[in-house]
Chain A
Amino acid sequence: MGVSVLSKSMPVQENQPWVSGTPADIISTVEFNHTGELLATGDKGGRVVIFQREPESKNAPHSQGEYDVYSTFQSHEPEFDYLKSLEIEEKINKIKWLPQQNAAHSLLSTNDKTIKLWKITERDKRPEGYNLKDEEGKLKDLSTVTSLQVPVLKPMDLMVEVSPRRIFANGHTYHINSISVNSDCETYMSADDLRINLWHLAITDRSFNIVDIKPANMEDLTEVITASEFHPHHCNLFVYSSSKGSLRLCDMRAAALCDKHSKLFEEPEDPSNRSFFSEIISSVSDVKFSHSGRYMLTRDYLTVKVWDLNMEARPIETYQVHDYLRSKLCSLYESDCIFDKFECAWNGSDSVIMTGAYNNFFRMFDRNTKRDVTLEASRESSKPRAVLKPRRVCLGGKRRRDDISVDSLDFTKKILHTAWHPAENIIAIAATNNLYIFQDKVNADAH
């Protein structure tokens, strides 16, 4: 499959030594922009850190464009909802890049309640030679001014400036779990547990509610929205997933309120595997359209599934992420691990899918060869330029030397957030406080 990879690991906070157990540094979302040049991470402390890929240097051919910190800013602050006497966490739930339309980059970042549009600009020149002001900006003594000069732009050290351009507040009663920019580049949607709103990027005081699954009587609530995404090409289509494991494809042309789905994707339950935990493990934690727009990828607790938009009855492919946990569901329920929300990702050509697991493992599945691999993101096994070694979890019985047994898995080390470069085989893995960026060896050698 060619998944031997190079690795470079870096702590998110470059200025500070890596401090274990600092809750605010836990990475909560990772997202490449549309070209892959920029990589944004959000953390529990409300900060956004953007990495930029260095252009490849002819002098150092082995320095395949590496990612360095480009900008850091505080996106969200903790707030207090006085009416409900509850805190509103500043944790960044999702970041989505807008397609680049000019020299500036823009992204949307959201916490539980408020979405913000940030504009990132570069400044590498500054005007010098003002007539009325001196170098420091103080007014000149007019008697010393004897001639007129035209200010000229002189180069300066690159400065990255970030400014909040829009704040989309008060749109959600419940916790926002997803945002997705429409292919029309004018609108985007935000989804919370019970509702989905459609916004215009330029209008902050109004949004349209397009899905509402809140029952008239909250006592009847049995299902919530877990994730949603716009179709990559059809601006009228979007999908949302539920805690009962179903996907609903909605067409905004059909009605203003898309409560009636156009298509319902649901796999019938396997009666032989039925238990009290069946519903919980069927809850979809992430849904992603393929780049082609033909397929959808979903993640539930134990599997990733590929769905064909043309077939609602069942997924076309199912991959087991960590089936060895099936017999441990009760303890995982007790420890709340069963509620962990793992994300999933497609590669650029939609041929490989990736998702995270426990013990800092992440898994990749090649859809064509049907081969899969388990890799580990950890400081010990990831020296720069090292090739990652495939890992194996053994269930008892025959055990090879480097195998990990199920009982020694560390469930506090979970890889929930992963991202794949839109075109190349570069992946970003968030392991608690650390961000790992892995590149395909094949790519590196070719340069």
Chain B
Amino acid sequence: MYLRELSVSVSTMFARGLKRKCDQEEVTEGFGTVPSYSLQRQSLLDMSLVKLQLCHMLVEPNLCRSVLIANTVRQIQEEMSRDGVWHPGAPQGAGRAPLDRLVSTEVLCRTARGPHGEQAVPESGESPSQTPAPGLCTVSLAQELRDPESGLWEMDSPRESRASFSKSLDQIFETLESKPPGSMEELLSDVESSYYDLDTVLTGVVSGSKPGLCGGLEGFTTAPSPPSSGCKSDLAELDHVVEILVET
């Protein structure tokens, strides 16, 4: 029941754009209090990041939707920066892996919707009984998320890296494969235009750098020169990447 109210309050506060309360108000006060604006804002941020991450689909995802979500994330980040709550250069995620944190967020959103069949046991497994569990789940989540928030958009989770590897690899194949002359320029100019760049966009925005191997591939794919030149070194790099992929 509590989390359902949480969801309603979140929507009310966000929809009306109420002046945010002092950041000092936290949920730890008790189950009856409305969660603070910063917690709600954080929930929205997490939800948005989950939406962007959960796009590893067979069909190319909707670019408009992704751009709108990314803009929302940016807005939240900007506001958090202004509030001095968010620091781009924060230390890397200590403790739980970013993927676990994302799952927890999903749990929060799901239970927040009220009785939809599942009363998911919180990831943290902190409370024994069902009823107070959602409340505690919120509390523990808030505590965890407040600290190493930048861990959320680290790219070192294996699933993430593999996705960007395969996408970059696709881009390499794109440039190497022979194409009818008319579309060659168009093809090359769009080599970096795959949706998954948006994924790396967010990570890029925060951390400012990408893991080394992806950086190498990035340089390759954005080269405007025709594929016939510099093929040898590119092929060597390609071999290297294929080696890694085969091993994983």
Contacts and interface: CB of A to CB of B under 8 A. Distances in A.
Contacts of A175: 60, 62-63
Contacts of B17: 272-275, 278
Interface in B138-181: 166-167, 170, 173-174, 177
B68 A331 contact: no
A276 B167 CA distance: 31
Nearest to A221: B67
Q: Give the top 9 A-B pairs by smallest Cβ distance, nearest first.
A: A330-B11, A275-B17, A193-B63, A274-B17, A86-B60, A219-B201, A329-B15, A339-B65, A218-B197
B58 interface: yes
Interface string B51-82: 10000001110111101101110111000000
Interface in B1-58: 7, 10-12, 14-17, 41, 44, 47, 51, 58
Interface residues of A, number: 46
B186 A173 contact: yes
B190 interface: yes
Residue among A272, A273, A276 having the largest count of chain B Cβ atoms under 10 Å: A276
A328 B7 CA distance: 10
Interface size class of B (residues with CB under 8 A): 35 or more
A276 B76 contact: yes
Nearest to B12: A327
B201 A339 contact: no
Secondary structure type dominating chain B contacts: helix
A328 B11 contact: yes
Interface stretch (A118-126, A222-230, A305-313): A222-230
Given A222-B67, A280-B68, 17 more contacts: A83-B174, A84-B167, A88-B59, A112-B60, A174-B63, A175-B62, A194-B63, A224-B67, A226-B64, A243-B68, A273-B16, A273-B17, A276-B72, A283-B64, A328-B11, A329-B11, A330-B15
Secondary structure type dominating chain A contacts: loop
Contacts of A243: 64, 67-68
A282 B83 CA distance: 26
Contacts of A278: 17
A88 B60 CA distance: 8
Contact of B193 (A88, A170, A214): A214
Contacts of A37: none
A84 B169 CA distance: 9
A326 interface: yes
Residue among A81, A85, A87, A205 having the largest count of chain B Cβ atoms under 10 Å: A85
Contacts of B72: 276-277, 279-280
24 contacts: A83-B174, A83-B177, A84-B167, A87-B58, A175-B62, A175-B63, A193-B63, A206-B182, A214-B193, A218-B193, A218-B201, A219-B205, A221-B198, A275-B16, A276-B14, A276-B76, A277-B72, A283-B68, A328-B15, A329-B11, A331-B11, A334-B109, A339-B64, A339-B65
A330 B10 contact: yes
A411 interface: no
Contacts of B194: 84
A275 B15 contact: yes
B60 A84 contact: yes
A412 to B, nearest CB: 14
A89 interface: yes
Nearest to A327: B15
B166 A329 contact: no
A324 to B, nearest CB: 11
Given A84-B60, A214-B193, A330-B44, A222 B71 contact: yes
Contacts of B70: 222
Nearest to A86: B60
A208 interface: no
B204 interface: yes
Contacts of B51: 336
B192 interface: yes
A333 B10 CA distance: 12
A243 B64 CA distance: 7
A227 to B, nearest CB: 10
Contact of B59 (A86, A276, A280): A86
